[in-house]
Structure formats: structure tokens, C-alpha cells
Structure 1
Amino acid sequence: MKNIRNTTILFTLMLVLTSCEKYLEEDLRDQIAVENFFNNDQEALLATNGLYRILLRGNMYGTRGIDNYYVNGADEVGPSRNVNGQIHNYLIQEGVADGNAIWSSCYEIVRNASLNISNIEGNENISEDIRNQTLGESYFLRALAYFHLTNLWGDVPYYRELLPLEELGSLGRFSKDEIRSDMKADLSLAFELLPSEPDLGRASKWAAAALKAKFHLFDSEWAEAKAECDEIIDNSPHRLLENFADVFDQTDRADQYNDEQIFVVDFTTEGIFNDAGTRRTDDYNPRLRDEPSNRNNRPGGPGTPQRWQLLRDTLQTLNQDMSGFGWAVPLPEIADRNNWDPDDLRYDATIVTEYAGFELQFPYYRKNWNLNNTSPRADHHENYVMFRLADIYLMAAEAENELNGPNGAYPYVNKVRERAFEPDKPWGGMTQESFRTAMYDERKYELCTEGYRKMDLIRWGILLETVKSTEHRPWNNPGDNIQPYHVLLPIPQDELILNPNLLTSDPSNNGYRGG
């Protein structure tokens, strides 16, 4: 089966399928001669690959799009200078950092996936294997789009079949619970349709199970969440790697995947799209103009090279460079080794404060940087790891604790901690409540910057207190600004202008209008 990055005749179709920026602006059925498409396996694959291509955008996973709202504004990441303050400092309003581009891209996925499903299902011109695969992928990616939409905005417009433009343009908001219930059912169907063996960059049945588990976890449906996690743990080909750092090592472009990764957004600098590389890595890579500490000092005395020149020369010998933006650096508390268990091996694989013999001015996330010159600025090849097995184990542990207390939950969390500690430090002797609160930090240290911390804090009901009690740098003050309604975004201003019915069920717009 062809990998996404090897499908070389995809571009023309995708220009059609992904040309509109706002989901209400155009009726795709006016642009696509559907009766002349979906006639064979290749065309079904092309249409489905177009859904994956939307994930590559900067407003999704290509840079800080999704990360702006899932990673920033919590207790993990902050900017190294006075940038991105609207989001990090909770200065969001209608029309100001309201996520409009993410909204548009997610609804583009919804529309195109719905188009695929209606034309692939029962289509005898497509072989059964490809029909099942592309249907399963379309169900999965549509559910992923609604996952983001309901996480970020709660109740949102909802449809499963393409509607006339006038009807689409007047849709009100539907209950988040109704949407998510349908998506869970769709993911059950996707699980049956998708292949078991992962194809690089494509969704497998285990990706569908992982997303369904996320839906259940976020909705506190503990039994269902645990069942999905157990299905993956017991029956999937995925395994925990022995070394934590290896999970994130993508320096070898020929070996970017590993057995722990369940689903990734596949980036490549060798694809046929201009946006095939990611810029997200640049947020985590240092910029040499900031580094190292005491950068203008001359260790050899007057007339000798400055410390930044020595670092630059050292990097050159390693075929490396610090050419990033340095926006996404660890906040002071998580960067401080004293706030981690002294035997936690994940710290050195996650945080870096010294490199190549030079003390750095800022800490950085080692797990997310790539200094190799083979990973060039603004066109990196690193994949975005969306689901991995360690997260599944921790989700299972949390669900089991909520269902039955900690005794049955220990084996799940301790499986993850076996790799994390030397000597081993398994959990035991906890109450249900102490296990629950200990999981707050366990997920933080295992999964930081992987796109779930802020949503975890929201579903635990502790986002506000966490932001207010976390140390931030002098140019940031999120604790002064955050309000209870910041657990959701306002419906984007551009969408309200197009469709005032979006305010019918909630004139306050998720609290941003004070109603």
C-alpha cells in the first residue's frame, strides 16, 4: 500500500479539494465533478490523501496552530521573549487569536471527508481493500476534526452529509455531546474498516481506537476509555521502546517511525507539496543570537573569540546549527531539575540547559529540537507524534483508578515508569484520590509538549489554579488574565459575521460577550 509521501499524482486533485479557506464560502459540489471521480482505487486514495494534507498546514500541525491552544497557556511552554502574548496571556477575544484558521481547516476536513464517504461507500469501482481503507480513514479524520472543534469551542455546527450552501450557512450550534457520541460510533466503524498493520503516516485501526479512547477519557466515560486502551495494549503491534529518548529521535530521515508511535502527522522535505516540511521544530530549536549564556564573554581574553562564536564553531564541527525561533521553551518550574524526581531519566531526554559544553541562556525541549543541518530551518522533516503507546497506558491507569481504585491501575502506570526510573520506582499504597492527583504530574512529565496537557488540566478542572500558581517569565502574566470561560475559545468573529445563527443558543459566545 502506498505511503502518503509516495503518492506522486496527488497535487492536482488536492488543489481542488483544499482550495477554500473558510468552510462556508463555497459549495465544493459546484467545483468537483463527482460523477467523473471516485472511479478507481487511485482516485479514492487521492481524495483521502487530501484530508491528510490539510493536517500539514501551519494552522494545524505544521507550526504552532494546534499547539497554540493545546500546549501554550498552561504550565509547560512559554515564549523566550515578548511574542505570542495574546494566546499565552489569555488576551483572546472575538477576532483576536480566536482560532479562526483552525476552525476553517477542521471544517474543510469535515466537508471533504463527508464527500469521500458519500462517494466511496458501496462504490463497486473501488476494490474492497481500498474502499475499506479510505472509508476508515475518512471516518477517522472527520472524527479528529470534530475532536478539535468540540475541544476548543464546545458546541459547534454539525453535519455528516454535504448540505446546500444556504443551509450550511445558517447552521446553529449543536450539542457537543451529540457530536461526540456520533464520532465515537464512527470510530468504531473505522476500527472495523482500517488495517491492523500501520502504513507509515496513515491511520490504522489502532489510531481509531486511540482517538476513541481520547473521546471517552475527555467525557469521563471510564469503562469505555479503558476498553479501548486495553484493545490497543493487548492486541496491537505497538510496544513501548526501552529508551524514552528514542521515541522522539527523528534525526535519521530514513528512520523516523518506531513501534511506540500509533499515529503521526507525516512531514517530509521530499514531498511534492511546498508545505510538506514543518516549521514547528523551529519553535523548539534555539536561535544562536540568544545563546549561549554570557554570549559576548571572551574566555581567552581580549581579542579572542566570544562564547557565541565558539558555540557556532563547535556546532559546525557537528554539522549542526541553532537557527530556530526559540519561541517554545520550558517554563522555569518544569525546567528546574529540582522539581523532578532525582531518579527520573526523562528529565535529561526532555530538557536541555547545557549543550556541547556551553551553558545555555534558556532551557529547551530536547525531545522536540533537531539541530542537524539535514533538518533545515522552515522546512523540517520531523513528524508530529499524535498518539503513542505510553499515553495509552496512562489513560488506562487513570480510567481503572476512577472505576475501581488504584490496585488494578498500578500495572498500567508502572509499565511506563519502568522505563522512566533507575532504580525502578513503582507506585503503590495510594488511595484513589492520591493516585488521581499523582497522575497530574505523571502525565505532565511523560507527555509534556505532546498536545494534551492543557486539555488534561481543563478536564481535571484545574486549569485556572494551575496557570495562576505556575511561574512565568517577566514578560508574561497569564495568571492575571485567565478567566473561567477561557476553557473554550469564542466562536471566530469571521464566522459570526457570515452566520449570526451561531449566537442563537449562546448569545454570550462562550462567555466572551459577558452574557
Structure 2
Amino acid sequence: MKNNIYSLLTIVVALFTVLSFSACEDFLEEDFRSGITTDNFFNNDAEALLAVNGTYRILHRASLYKTRGLDNYYVNGTDEVGPNRNVNGQIHNYLIGEGVSDGADTWNSCYELARNAALFLASVEGNEKLSESIRNQVTGELLFMRALAYFHLTNLWGDVPYFRELPSTEELSVIERTDKVLIRSEMKEDLDRAFDLLPSEYGSSELGRVSKWAAAALKAKFHLLDSEWQDCLTECQEIIDNSPHRLLDNFADVFDQNPLTDQYNDEHIFVVDFTKDPVGSDGNTQRTDDYNPRIRDEPANRNVRPGGDGTPTNVELLSAALAEQGEDMTGYGWAIPLPEIADPANWEDGDLRYDASIVTEYLGFQLAFPYYRKNWNLNQENSPRGNHPENYIVFRLADIYLMAAEAENELNGPANAYTYVNTVRARAFEPDRPWSGMSQQEFREAMYDERKFELATEGHRKMDLIRWGILLETVMNTEHRSFNNPAANIQPKHVLLPIPLAEILLNPNLLNSDPSNNGYR
């Protein structure tokens, strides 16, 4: 059978995957144990940990967090990011259709994560061969992984095939879509259970594992997307009041992952950990290359000789300046700020996040394009092309504060919501510029920009615009570069993707509940 969500050939691939990440990820350095099969695992704690470690590896797929997999559908096609030339146009310009940028690889990876989680949960829960602490931890991690898979699936496709226990091949081949309301409801219940089972913190050798606060953050995000304001606020308050996480004093420090042995900080709640020179084919990230410049594009006036005839050109001077500090511009330029967000005039006066997020000049050279400073790394020794160690920040505390502010405003108006948003803004401005005196609607609309500037490129923007009901108008009113014109193509159906064509051809039952395939037929 072809490679799709119904193929069981990859169900146990995670079990036999040995991960070796950065020095702070010793928890993924389990030795392979010969003889482990789906019939006899798990016989001890090490085997259970090996299996759950394999599920972390799935997150390193190019179709998820390694490169532009999820970013294609969460970041591109909004008002934040676009390429610096005519590439990725099907995604950015909303030329999506069945079999055309329909997210098939992301769909497959999410279902592999869901399948493996279901399989391993069945072998862990109630397994007396495991110590209670490991059984609880692994169960919590697997519940989180399954919830994360269905989080992405329901965000991108709405109603999707759903299972909690691994079905037979025959059942999978005729499975239909399930209402996303039911799926999300059960995932929230699972995350409640995961919260109770998972530890609050890990030791330095196990950073990157799912904590109870990661489970709470994912549950809060589910509630946010479903406009369940009180539940969202409750989860956010729990994290703010009781977790070990704190806002860093300096916004730029949140994204500083140097040195490589100290990439985590107190604001990170859950990250996908990548490392340079991993064991095996996965483990490093190429996402950074999308945000790094190409030297062939830079700097502005690159062939001008500022010293006159016979002297070096600007590009030669920039290359020399970069080399002096061990840097180079070897990226792709596929993910640069759109013109409006790159313009400081569109940010509030004094917003320190602008310079920490956007760069238009470097080493004294004006750049031809703006770039996201928060996501680039030009260091050629520690972060070379195609072999980057930068972690993908999935959840961090500032997002939790802004979610709490929005939930409180929706419940009771802005009076008590100011505390949350102004805590985030306190580090963003000098002098401080707290919010006050707004109506509920004014607060609601101000949050549109606040979340954009605080969380740009972090994978939240498109879902924010969709849940606010303003994706179409935002895209149509945003300035894009001359080679892109998403405003001409975007339609209401584009709040979801079509079920991938390859899946429909293998299982026509996927159209039973919606013959239009999310409006694409």
C-alpha cells in the first residue's frame, strides 16, 4: 500500500530510532536494544523511554518543524513573511488545491505521530514492568504528542480521521472524518491527565522533554482557538502563577541560542530541540536558512565601489567584514519580513522589539532586503548552512500572558486584562507605554497588532487571524512584493486545507461527510 496515513509500515519506526541531540539532550541518547518488537515491548523503563524518544524525532521532520513544513501554513500567507523572490508562490499566493500544496507530507507526519502515540500508550498504561515514575512520565508525554498531532490536524483540515486506539488496516482503509469538536474535547481531557502525570521540571540532561506546563500551554491554545475564554484564562493563570517559567528582562535574549550548550531559557515552555551534527539524518534544522540572507542578494548597491575605481565593491567589503567575525550570508531568503512589518513607522514609537526582530542594516551596510534578526544566525562555525542547531520555540510565556489578557477582556472587559498585556509591554518599551482607558472592542483590536509584534514568525499568526475572522481582509489589505499577489486569490475556503488528494484516492470515504472537501470541489 502507498505511503499514507493508512500504511502501518512506519508505526514502529520511532521505536527503533536512536536520537542524539545536543549536550543538554542526553535523554535522547538511549542505546538501541535488540529484540524489541511490538509483541514484547516494554519490558523495562529504558525501552519505554526509547519509544517515546522516537516520537520526539517525528517532530524533526521537514514537514513539521525542521524547515518550512508547518510554517508554510501557520506563517506564510499572512502579513508577516514572504520570500525575497518568486518562490513558494503556491503557498503564499493561495494557489492551493487538491494535490497542489495540500499539506500531504504534514498530514502524514501528524498521523505517524498519532499512530505511534496510540500504539505506545497501549503498551505503557498499566504496564507493571515499568516504574511508576517512568510510566507516569511516558504516558504524559505520549498524551501530549497525540494531542499535538490532532492540534495541527484540526487546525489545518478541520474534521479529520480520528482514533484513540490503533485501528486495524481494514478499519483505517475506510475511516471517515470526525467532527473536530469531539476530537478537541477529548484532547483537552487527555491534556488534563497529562498535566497530572508529567513533572514540573527536568534536570539539565533532559531539557526539551514535555513538562506539565507544556501540556497546560497546549490545552490553553485549544481553548483559545475554540473561544472557551474561562478555560483558557484558567490554564494561563495556572502557568503564570505556579510554573517555574518567567519573562526574560530583554526581549532579544528570548531568541539568543548561543552558546550551544545553553540554548534554553526560563521563558521557553516547550521547544523542538535541534542540534548541529546530529547522529543520523535528522536532528538539525534548515529553517534558519529560510531566514538567513543570500550573499548574492546583499548588500544594497552591491556592485558599487565606494572607494572609487579599482577598489573593492560593497559586496566584497561586506563579505570581508562578515568573514572577520566568522560569519557569512549563506541562506535562502525565503522568509523575510513583508514591507509593512519591516517599516518601523508601522510599529509604536519606542518599541524595542523592532530592532530585536527586524534588521535592515548590518555591519554598516544597508541591506537590499529586511530580515528577521530574531531568526537568523550567520555564524559559520556553530550554525552553518543546512546544519543549524536553533530550537523551534513552540510555546513561551509571553504568549501565555497575551492569551490571558485576551481571555480576560472577552470575559469581563479590559479592567483586569491590562495587567497581563502590560507585563509583556513593560519590557518592550523604554519608557514604559502601558495600555489603559480602552473599551472592550478597542482592547480586542489592539491585541491584533500586539500579538503580531510580540510573536512574529513564531507560528501563531495565521490561526490568530482565522479565529478573529479577519484573515481575508488582512491578506487583501497587506502590501506584498511585486511578484506576489495573494489578495487576488484568497477565498473563504482558505481557512482550511483540502484533504490531500492522495488520501482521497486511497479512501473515498473521506468525502462522505463533506463531498466538497472543505470547499475545494
Q: TM-score, normalised by structure 1?
A: 0.95
How far apart, in 1, do the equivalents of 2:83 and 2:276 lie? 26
Given candidates 219, 224, 236, the residue that maps to 2:226 is 219
What one-letter code is carried by the residue in structure 1 that aligns with 2:8?
Answer: E
Q: Give the alignment's Cα RMSD to 1 decimal.
A: 1.3
Take 1:57 and 1:269, find their aligned partners in 2: how far apart are those partners?
15
**Deviates further, 418-427 or 31-40:** 31-40
Note if 1:461 corresponds to 2:469.
yes
> Superposed, which structure 2 residues align to 1:137-156 within 5 Å?
137-156=141-160
- Structure 2 Cα separation of the partners of residues 355 and 27 of structure 1: 49
Shift of 1:255: 1.2
In 1, the alpha carbon distance for the partners of 2:110 and 2:148 equals 8
CA-to-partner distance for each residue in 1:461-510, whole Å, 9 max, x for gaps?
Answer: 00000000000000000001000000000000000011000000000000
1:42-441 → structure 2 map (5 Å cutoff): 42-198=46-202, 199-373=206-380, 374-441=382-449
Question: Which string of whole-angstrom CA distances, capped at 9 and with x for unpartnered residues, describes residues 108-153 of structure 1?
Answer: 0000000111000011111111111111000001000000000000
What is the distance in 1 between the residues matched to 2:389 and 2:510?
39
> What is the alpha-carbon distance in structure 1 between the residues aligned to residue 319 and residue 439 of structure 2?
52
Choose 198-207 or 405-414, whichever is displaced more.
198-207
Q: In structure 2, what is the equivalent of residue 15 of structure 1?
A: none
Partners in 1 of 2:77 and 2:121 — Cα distance? 37
Q: 1:430 to 1:307 in 2, by over 3 A?
A: same
Q: Which amino acid aligns with 1:295?
A: R
- Residue 345 of structure 2 aligns to a residue whose secondary structure is helix
SS of equivalent to 1:391: helix
SS at match of 2:438: coil
Conservation of the 8 A alpha-carbon contact between 2:11 and 2:116: no
Q: Given the superposition, is the C-alpha separation of residues 157 and 306 from structure 1 closer, same or farther in structure 2, using an over 3 Å criterion?
A: same
The alignment partner of 1:390 has SS state of helix
In the alignment, the residues of structure 1 paired with residue 364 and residue 244 of structure 2 have an alpha-carbon distance, to the nearest angstrom, of 40
- Residue 3 of structure 1 corresponds to none
Corresponding position of 2:27: none
SS state at 1:352 partner? strand
Q: CA deviation at 1:21?
A: 4.6
Alpha carbons 1:251, 1:372 under 8 Å: kept: no
Q: Give the percent of matched residue pairs that are identical in Structure 1 and Structure 2.
A: 69
Provide the rounded CA distance (Å) in 2 between the counterparts of 1:209 and 1:348: 31
In 2, distance between residues paired with 1:118 and 1:292? Answer: 56
Give the secondary structure class of the aligned counterpart of 2:160: coil
Instruction: Tell me whether 1:480 sits opposite 2:488 in the alignment.
Output: yes
Shift of residue 413, structure 1, vs aligned partner: 0.2
Matched position secondary structure for 1:370: coil
Give the one of 483, 489, 492 matched to 2:497.
489
Deviation at 1:303, TM superposition (A): 1.3
Deviation at 1:274, TM superposition (A): 1.7
1-structure distance, mates of 2:279, 2:85: 35
* Counterpart contact for 1:73–1:87, Cα < 8 Å: yes
Opposite residue 174 of structure 2, the aligned amino acid is S
Q: Tell me the distance in 1 between the aligned counterparts of 2:164 and 2:387.
A: 35
Q: Aligned partner of 2:116: which letter?
A: N
> Conserved in 2, the CA contact under 8 Å of 1:92 and 1:98?
yes
How far residue 36 of structure 1 moved from its aligned partner, in angstroms, is 2.0
Partner Cα distance (1:276, 1:180) in 2: 29
Asked whether the equivalents of residues 84 and 333 of structure 2 are also in contact (C-alpha less than 8 Å), the reply is yes
Please say if 1:23 is aligned against 2:24.
no
- Deviation track 1:185-239 (CA, whole Å, cap 9, x = no partner) reads 0000000011001441110000000000000000000000000000000000000
- C-alpha separation in 2, matches of 1:312 and 1:57: 33
Is contact 1:21-1:105 (8 Å) kept? no
Instruction: Name the aligned partner's letter for residue 362 of structure 2.
Output: Y
Q: Partners of 2:108 and 2:501 in 1: how far apart? A: 12
Q: Residue 289 of structure 2 aligns to which amino acid in structure 1? A: D
**Residue 306 of structure 1: how far off its partner (Å):** 0.8
Deviation, structure 1 residue 29: 7.3
Inter-partner Cα distance in structure 1 for 2:201 and 2:12: 37
1:428-473 Cα shifts (integer Å, max 9, x gaps): 0000000000000000000000000000000000000000000000
SS in 2 for 1:385: strand
Q: Within 2, Cα distance between the matches of 1:104 and 1:28?
A: 10
* Aligned partner letter, 1:395: M
CA distance in 2, matches of 1:356, 1:99: 39
CA contact (8 A) 2:10 2:112 kept: no
Distance 1:209 1:499, change over 3 A: same
Cα distance in 2, alignment partners of residues 432 and 512 from structure 1: 37
Q: Distance in 1 between matches of 2:4 and 2:271?
A: 25
| 2:12 and 2:116 in contact (8 A); partners too | no
Which whole-Å CA distance do the structure 2 matches of 1:235 and 1:22 have between them? 42
The number of residue pairs the alignment matches comes to 495
Distance 1:246 1:400 in 2: 28
Between the aligned partners of 1:453 and 1:305, the Cα distance in structure 2 is: 42
For structure 1, the residue ranges without an aligned partner over 5 or more in a row are 1-19
CA drift of 1:75 comes to 0.1
Deviation track 1:399-440 (CA, whole Å, cap 9, x = no partner) reads 000000000100000000000001100000000000000000
Please report how far the alpha carbon of residue 28 of structure 1 lies from its aligned counterpart in structure 2 after TM superposition: 6.1
The answer to whether the 8 Å contact 1:72/1:87 transfers is yes
Matches of residues 3-22 of structure 1 in structure 2 within 5 Å? 21-22=3-4
Contact kept? 2:11, 2:115, Cα under 8 Å = no
- In the TM superposition, residue 27 of structure 1 has moved relative to its aligned partner by 5.8
Cα shift at 1:254: 1.1
- Asked whether the equivalents of residues 466 and 495 of structure 2 are also in contact (C-alpha less than 8 Å), the reply is yes
Deviates more, 1:225-234 or 1:33-42: 33-42
CA contact (8 A) 2:157 2:499 kept: yes
Query: Distance between the aligned counterparts of 1:441 and 1:359, measured in 2?
Result: 27
Secondary structure of 2:260's counterpart equals: coil
- Cα deviation for residue 271 of structure 1 reads 3.0
* TM-score calculated relative to the size of structure 2: 0.94
Is the 1:95–1:492 Cα contact (8 Å) retained in structure 2?
yes
The amino acid that maps onto 1:248 is F
Deviations 1:14-59 (A, max 9, x none): xxxxxx9522122667998323221111110111011110000111
Q: Distance in 2 between matches of 1:238 and 1:30?
A: 34
